Chain A
Amino acid sequence: MTSKPEMTAADIASAVAGRRMSALDATEAALARIKQHDGILNSFTDVTAERARAKARAVDADIAAGKDVGPLAGVPFAVKNLFDVAGLPTRAGSKINRDLAPAKRDATLIERMEAAGAVLVGALNMGEYAYDFTGENVHDGPSRNPHDTTRMTGGSSGGSGSAVGGALVPIALGSDTNGSIRVPSSFCGIFGLKPTYGRLSRARSFPFVVSLDHLGPFARSATDLALAYDVMQGEDADDAACTTTRGLEPTLPLLANPVSDLRIAIAGGHFQNNVFPEAVEAVSRVAKALGATRVVDVPEAARARAAAYVITTTEGASLHLDRLRKRANDFDPAVRDRLIAGAMVPAPMVDRAQKFRRWYRAQLAEIFRSVDVLLAPATPCTAPKLGQVNFNLDGVELPVRANIGIHTQPISFIGLPVVAVPVPLEPLPIGVQIIAAPWREDIALRVAYALEKMGVAAAPAPRGL
């Protein structure tokens, strides 16, 4: 049996565990697709072919010996290049970090994926230091949208969106500080999970804004998302924010449970403003399929977005202050100038943003007393053209970069779990956020799975290749 691009991770793992396909064949097929298409997509910055082959052979040997190989046996995956990969400097999309010593040990999430039988095939392009919503990178070139290679992938996990959207690998990992999993999921037409803040370990990944940073998976189906998410759960002393109280809460066994008992509402106010008709249509299709008619206003969401912006720019500036002093000319100039400005924001304003965060969290906690799921656009538009500076909305010219994340930022600001589901509109897909209460990833994944089964959410075959 030969691995085909349309095979999900669940398909591959089943075929490998059932000895209908070897892990090595699945790995070689992914490496061949990368070789064939990545010249255009530019999603990979490192292909770890020899490591991947060695791991695949080890999985095959374990199967031959009758050992348990885990639920992701032989599944190729790749990671945003801010994850430590043993033997590579963790560049985090930058030029500066290429001078770092190679990482000695893989990131925790890579270790957990490989412990479940998955096979790492490489590291993926990203916006510099994750301060990006476009997927463009001045050092490595832009990752390209698999449905139209003249368009953005979205960022900052652009390579993750492109690699999964282009079906080079069935699963990728990325990070999301303000929307960097949900935005590329939307533009590239794939499923993405940003878990609850503190759910998945960030150990041995390069940080951006520690009080907002999350890691999570991308996939072409809700089942694959749940598969990857479940094997990555668990406490980790190497990440100070990683939960020590929740334990393992597998979602896969709950995925096919009915959603008819869930109280699902549409997020109103800010989430219905500044959106293109495509985003309205996508939310409408999802709401209709789920029978959701109630609209719930999320109070002060625009202010929450502003507070997230302030915390991001100042914490980011603090992280990079020394590099800005010593190697300013080695930054992407656009990132450098944002970070320098961030260093100049007065401290009381940052403190007030953090205090507002607690107030806003309490408002959402109140909403989740009477609602299980909120629906909102993942992006206000489908993928813009590479290099596009402005878009025209209702006759008003708005900057693209500043507006891509306006609907994701107020959600990650308070760490809520979200699955971005792809709605396959023509000519380009767009995502909808399925937002649940803290620690209820199971509910968001269940709704994503139901939408997929109804045919409302689907990862379209890459049309730009």
Chain B
Amino acid sequence: MRHIISILMENEPGALSRVVGLFSQRNFNIETLNVAPTEDPSLSRLTVTTVGDDRVIEQITKHLNKLVDVVKLVDLTEGNHIERELMLVKVKALGAARDEVKRTVDIFRAQVVDVTPSLYTVQITGDAGKLDAFLQAMAPVGILEVARTGVSGIARGDKVLSL
């Protein structure tokens, strides 16, 4: 099963490599990875999506917790949560397809953020499934480039991941 694990860790050199290294060292899998400092500059928040059965996920969270740089973590998929990813896509927009692309962008509630005579750059946010669907819809027109941030997430309701 797919899990989204969010980690608060020391914003220090080497911390990221310890987390990433742990996954390869222990043969765990990383689907997406996303990391940035938080409102507290001494902390970074890292979100990783991974796939594994309960036993593997238990080991992943235990080993992550063991890293000295990891302050706190949560498996967001254990409860209700909001999952978002941002994607920038350059698609061909020529002739009749130009209107069709714009219509699809609107249907997906995406935005065109840059325009040239031959292409649109589209910004879209949502969960991974929505982004995949948009790419599928654009495939016949011609996708030139894709930049995805990887999943970020937060728990619904009063639950807070903080110190």
Determine if chain A interacts with chain B: no
Contacts from A to B (Cβ < 8 Å): none
